[in-house]
A and B are shown apart, each in its own frame.
Chain A
Amino acid sequence: MSALICIFTAALLLCTGCNSSSEASIQEKHAEKAAPTPASFLALGEFSLEYLDDGYVKVRDGAKREFLLVPCGKPPLEGFPKCRIVETPVRSVAAYGYFDISILKVLGVIDDVLVGVTAPQDEWVIPEVVQGMESGKIAYLGSYNSIDFEVLKKSSPEMVMTWDHSVIPILEDLGIPCLITSTPVAMCLNAKMKFVNFLAPFFGRETEASEYFGQVAGVLQEIAEKAAQTNEHPKVMWGDIYEKRVLVEPGNAWVGELVGLAMGDYVFDDVFGASCIEISMERFLTGGEDAEILFTYRTPLTGATSKEALAKTNPSMSAIQPLHAGKVFAPLPHYAQSGDKLDEILLEIAAIVHPDLYPDYERKYFTELPEKDA
């Protein structure tokens, strides 16, 4: 029965994908002789798109603010303040998040539009960003919590994509539209998969977005079909262990949904909230009592070098099964910047949950922690 539920869920996502595929037929917005675009609405959690007539698009960002996307050369509609009007296609953008920048790569515009980032050059593994920073085309704007607005202004972005609500006022004063690309609660699987569709209209790349979604949806279907072959439901936990605290991915996050779809049992399915939210240690302890797999965001570079090391971090939590009888997986450094490979990441997580279903799979994004440090 649960297998059927998985297949049904995947099919449901594919149906929404079908709707997305139909959106791919929308003409390029910058085409001079584009046919009128039929009105349609797309909701992605807190985000939404509403396609209006004549190529205009009304957008709601993660801060529940409405923007109007105006095709190049056309007049803006009434009712939108200047800082909420974005002429499309956007020709230059500054971005905070790794995932957002990965999506720019998916859309095929990263080389052309990205002009500013909030991580220094030595932290990047995306080739386009590395090369852009070397050439000076992409500027380092300063840390995400201390942006140099002078450098930002000099970079002349037509839009900034960020999670930081506090920069909205100053960016509006500078005349730069600020798009909030995060939400108070963790992104669900549907929103994660289709976030590319949210950004596509800004750059007139609906076709690329639909292709990407189709690719991800195809992998999801594959995962569901393989999951139907097993009756095993390994318990999976996803969280970070600190000295006196524990944080988890809530059940509403995409990881929780994916684990369920892959026929795993996500032990924090009852937790709701933001990504990596703090919960009580006792809840974490009982969740890990019989869990088989622990995913952690803590990388080997920041202390997650072995199961023993994690156990030492918080001895009270050393009793959870993954630390002594199960498996612990930590992301490799390039994981966070691989949002353009979401299909591969989803597949890898599924392969970790059910290695028996993916006997020949070779991991690219996660490393299994050894029992002890070498």
Chain B
Amino acid sequence: MEDFAQISKQRWTAGFIGLSAALMVVLCANIFLGSVKIDFSQAMHIIMSGDDASTLGTILWKIRIPRALASAMGGAYLAIAGLLLQVYFRNPVVGPYILGISSGATLMVSLVMLTSLQLGLTQIAPYLTTLAAFAGAYGVMMLVLAAASRIRQGVTLLILGLMIGYLCHAVTSILVAFAEKEQVKGFVLWQLGSFSGFHQSEIYILFFGGGAVAFGVYLLSKPLNAFLLGEEYAASMGVNIRLFRILILLAACALAGMVTGMAGPVAFIGLAVPHMARLVFRTSDNNVLAPGAALLGAVVTGICDLLARLLFSPVELPISAITAFFGAPIVIGLLLRRRVVS
């Protein structure tokens, strides 16, 4: 038994070290590689000197570095959100968008982008799209939390989330049907999801806001582990089930909403990465899985974003297309092999 525990710890340690190293490699690749060639020495000089005024400096400091950080943090948060919801619903195919978060964000963005001409607004204020996405995502989150405080059954809440998503989608579809072509074009671009164009302020929000939530999730690891064994067992261990459910949903929706608000919908990361983490670490212990999924999500999303940028450079591919190629086969394979550990 002690040998097994020792082996497990060694595996976890190796996993964390490996993923951390991989993350560093991915971050470096995202910073040093792009459609504009920048020599390593030149890039290092720009980074060390803090030059953000020249064109290459702008590319590094205002385009590549923010994007690399955003994709890593975004992927980490989506993975954590997916993990939380899979534990909460005890369902391996639940993702962070199952509760209507992305649909809510999409609805609000469509309201802003598709109705501005009708309202006589030819210009959308900077960041208004992001703010609208935030409002939509967190608006749906509030609905879900309000429902969660009254609904005990996870399945019912799941269906409620789906219905909220369908309602939002219905309204969005109506808006699209009556929108101007130019507006639809911009809206479709947003729907594709992208870590392009992140501003410094958004990076700070991701880092501090998302980091705080992620840390809070880590503190919930023990109750999460207890919850895995059933609500009754968790309650017997002193967990306030009602409050715990709200906290899980709050954290998951907050993380997913934050990423969606800034990057748009990014598919499959939240769904597939938790399973990948379980395979890597061979455990259902959330003390390990939560940070492990975060690291793995950061790595996978960083790789996907790099591929989206470089495969047909300078043409960019939608990141959700790349993540789908990664995520869908993994989920299908796991389901077929029935190797899902929840």
With the chains together, A244 CA to B319 CA distance in Å?
A: 14
Task: Report the nearest B residue to A315, measured CB to CB.
Answer: B126
Given B55, B197, B313, which contacts A245 in the complex, CB threshold below 8 Å?
Answer: B197
0/1 per residue, A312-333, Cβ < 8 Å to B? 1111100100000000000000
**Residues of the A chain whose Cβ atoms lie less than 8 Å from the Cβ of B313:** 280, 283
| B122 engages A305 (CB within 8 Å) | yes
B116 to chain A, nearest CB (A): 8
Shortest CB-to-CB span from A149 to chain B, Å, is: 16
Assess the A273–B59 pair: CB atoms within 8 A. Answer: no
Q: What residues of chain A lie closer than 8 Å to B124, measured between beta carbons?
A: 243, 303, 313
In the complex, what residue of chain B is closest to A119 when comparing beta carbons? B181
Does B34 touch A at the CB level, under 8 Å? yes
Instruction: Tell me, yes or no, whether A351 is within 8 Å of chain B by CB.
Output: no
Interface residues of A in 292-344 (CB under 8 A from B): 298-303, 305, 309, 312-316, 319
Note all chain A residues with C-beta closer than 8 A to B180. Answer: 302
A110 at the interface (CB under 8 A from B): no
Contact A285 B59 (CB under 8 A): yes
Residues A301 and B189 in contact, CB atoms below 8 Å apart: no
B307 at the interface (CB under 8 A from A): no
Evaluate contact between B314 and A244: CB separation under 8 angstroms: no
- For chain B, the count of residues having a C-beta within 8 Å of the partner chain is 34
Which residue of A243, A271, A285, A303 is within 8 Å of B58 (Cβ)?
A: A285
Q: Kindly state the separation between the CA atoms of A319 and B54 in the bound complex, as whole angstroms.
A: 10
A273-B315 CB under 8 A given contacts A281-B196, A305-B123 = yes
Nearest chain B CB to A300's CB is how many angstroms away? 7
Q: A316–B197 contact, CB under 8 A?
A: yes
Q: Quick check: B177 and A282 within 8 Å, CB to CB?
A: no
B216 at the interface (CB under 8 A from A): no
A17 to B248 alpha-carbon distance, docked (Å): 70
- Would you call A211 an interface residue if the criterion is a C-beta within 8 Å of the partner chain's C-beta atoms? no
CA distance A54 to B19 in the complex (A): 71
**Chain B contacts for A244, CB-based, 8 A:** 194, 196-198
Are B129 and A286 touching (Cβ within 8 A)?
Answer: no
The verdict on A301 contacting B35 (CB below 8 Å), with A279-B315, A319-B58 known, is: no
CA distance A313 to B199 in the complex (A): 13
In the complex the two chains form, what is the Cα distance from A273 to B315 in whole Å? 8
Question: What residues on A are CB-neighbors of B35 within 8 Å?
Answer: 279-280, 282-283
Interface secondary structure of A, over-half rule:
loop
Q: Are B117 and A315 in contact (CB under 8 A)?
A: no
Cβ < 8 Å to A, chain B residues 301-342:
309, 312-316
With CB as the reference atom, state the residue of chain A lying closest to B122: A303
Interface 0/1 of A184-196, CB less than 8 Å to B = 0000000000000
Q: How far is the CA of A12 from the CA of B125 in the complex (A)?
A: 48
* A212-230 interface code vs B (CB 8 A; 1 in, 0 out): 0000000000000000000
Contact B122 A278 (CB under 8 A): no
For residues 251 through 280 of chain A, which have their beta carbon under 8 Å from a beta carbon of chain B? 270-273, 277-280
B87 to chain A, nearest CB (A): 33
A282 to B197, CA, bound (A): 10
Please pick, from B64, B182, B316, the residue contacting A278 in the complex, using a CB distance under 8 A: B316
Q: Is A143 an interface residue (CB 8 A)?
A: yes
Q: How far is the CA of A318 from the CA of B58 in the complex (A)?
A: 11
Beta-carbon contact of B122 and A301 below 8 Å: yes
Considering the chains assembled together, what is the distance between the CA atoms of A192 and B37 in angstroms?
A: 34
Write out, one digit per residue, whether chain B residues 57-75 have a CB within 8 A of any chain A CB (1) or not (0).
Answer: 0110011100000000000
Report if B18 contacts A (CB, 8 A): no
Evaluate contact between A302 and B177: CB separation under 8 angstroms.
Answer: no
Would you call A146 an interface residue if the criterion is a C-beta within 8 Å of the partner chain's C-beta atoms?
A: yes
Point out the residues of chain A lying under 8 angstroms from B20, CB to CB. Answer: none
**CB within 8 Å of A: which B171-228 residues:** 177, 180, 182-183, 186, 189-190, 194, 196-199
Cβ-defined partner of B63 (8 Å) among A272, A285, A305: A285
User: How far is B122's CA from A300's CA once the two chains are assembled, in angstroms?
Assistant: 8
Return chain A residues, CB-CB under 8 Å to B177: 143, 145-146
Is B48 an interface residue, CB under 8 A from the partner? no
- The answer to whether A283 touches B314, judged by C-beta atoms less than 8 angstroms apart, is yes
Q: Are B196 and A312 in contact (CB under 8 A)?
A: no
Between B117, B129, B182, the greatest number of chain A beta carbons within 10 A of the residue's beta carbon is seen for: B182
Give Cα distance in the complex from A146 to B173, angstroms: 11
Contact (Cβ within 8 A) A279 B314: yes
Q: Mark A70-111, 1 if CB is under 8 A from B, else 0.
A: 000000000000000000000000000000000000000000
Q: How many angstroms from the CA of A273 to the CA of B313 in the assembled complex?
A: 11
List chain A residues, Cβ under 8 A from B183. Answer: 302
Minimal beta-carbon separation of B37 from chain A (angstroms): 10
A300's nearest neighbour on chain B, judged by CB, is B122
- Among B55, B58, B314, which residue has its beta carbon within 8 angstroms of that of A280? B314
Min CB–CB distance A124 → chain B (angstroms):
14
Whether B129 contacts A243 by the Cβ 8 Å rule is: yes
* 27 pairs, A vs B, C-beta closer than 8 Å: A242-B186, A243-B124, A243-B129, A243-B186, A243-B190, A244-B194, A244-B198, A245-B189, A270-B314, A278-B315, A279-B35, A280-B36, A280-B196, A282-B36, A282-B59, A282-B64, A285-B55, A301-B117, A302-B117, A303-B122, A309-B123, A312-B125, A313-B123, A313-B126, A314-B197, A315-B126, A316-B197
Task: Spell out B's residues near A (CB within 8 Å).
Answer: 34-36, 55, 58-59, 62-64, 117, 122-126, 129, 177, 180, 182-183, 186, 189-190, 194, 196-199, 309, 312-316
Counting from the closest, the 10 A-B pairs by CB-CB distance are A244-B197, A283-B314, A279-B314, A302-B182, A283-B35, A282-B59, A280-B35, A303-B123, A289-B55, A282-B36
